[in-house]
Chains A and B, each alone.
Chain A
Amino acid sequence: MFKMERNIYQPVKCEVIDNIKESPNINTIVLKPEKEFSFLAGQFASLTVPGIGEAPFTPSSSPFDKEKLEFTVMKVGRVTEKIHQLKKGDIVGVRGPYGKPYPLSEFKGKEILLVGGGVGLAPIRALFLALVETYKDYKKIIFCCGARTPQDYIYKDKIFGEWQNLCEKIPLSFRITVDKKDENWKYMEGVVTLTLDGLDIDVKNAVSVVCGPPIMMKFTTLKLLEIGFSESSIYLSMERKMYCGVGHCRHCLIGDLFVCKDGPVFKYSEIKDKPNIWV
């Protein structure tokens, strides 16, 4: 029988149910999809503001949450500015999920190091929430967070509250820093690579997941290699200009690899020899 194929560019209609200010230039937009939208941690979706444009984001909500979908978005351009202006009841579109997720089955039995900087904490949040849900599968989780200043931190009530409280119940620890502290800051001061000094981790049985601005990913990767992580145990979340999300338009190529199809999560070993990876 002839089966009508769904148009690959057709988004799922979503209603904006909240738009939360996280930091001076980052918001989390909370959406209620018209029908269930499932994804795995690390996969991304394309978010359309009708008539304005579309941009790819990795959901920051838990993949286990089937009721709502959240994206944490930094205001950097035309589309993200409109996303920041969205109000309750507005309608947007989401298509996806696209790309390969974090390979959680390969993480089983291992120590997991999460390193997130700035808005790079967004994809890591989805992963973190998935890990917490299945924490018995892993030996321990170490979460290193960085931001420029205390007020640049996103998920403040989680990072400085709820999530830290979990440390008493599950094998989880946090290392928190800012590039520049203020008078009320109780944690570390310095770039996020500083949190990797003196880590209690068995690098031979560990994986690390890094997401943040390119410069942060570069120096974090170099540091992780120095500590003894193998090239294939470092997972990087890559970002490129993207339109189609499905491997057609070729904008997101890193050499011969599509960020949209082969990524957005790559092992460092897969991309280290590709052109200009640290952009």
Chain B
Amino acid sequence: MCEIGNLSNTACTQNASGVKGIGYMIPAEEFASWPAYLSTTGAGDTVKLTGNFSLVATSDIGYFRTFPCLLEKGSYTFALVGGLGSKTFEEKYTYYIPGVDAAQLEHIKNLANIPGVWLCPDKNNTVHVLGSKDDPAYVEVVEGTTGAAAADERGITVTVRAVSARPTIYTGTINTTPNT
């Protein structure tokens, strides 16, 4: 049976828009397993993952890579797509990496075709998950520019896309240390 409850009107003491200045990604193959959703019945629990991610023990990998995101240039968006009775969540994470130098270009080169999982922390301290171990997200669009005029920006816009049955929130730790 479908379960849908009341949506309470919360006191909006904190509802900041935008995403934080740091994001995370990891190749999907570096997950040892994928956590289940919470089975508790609190509001929002059915879109929250339980516990912490379990990553592979292989040396030098098994950690989330971080990247910067320029202020007011990133966003997490989602839309329900598909026909009537067949809706799917299409999620997108857009972020802007300042610079088009060797380090940024190499990062994009390596990122281009990786099936991965991206974590998008928003300014409200909610960490949105795009992709999963067996249903990963991909880079959809990358646009880089040196800019033309002095007032332009010089950097790379990356858009990641995931398609899934439901949105996902992560509340655990984000390991940023490679295995020894």
State yes or no: do A and B come from one complex. no
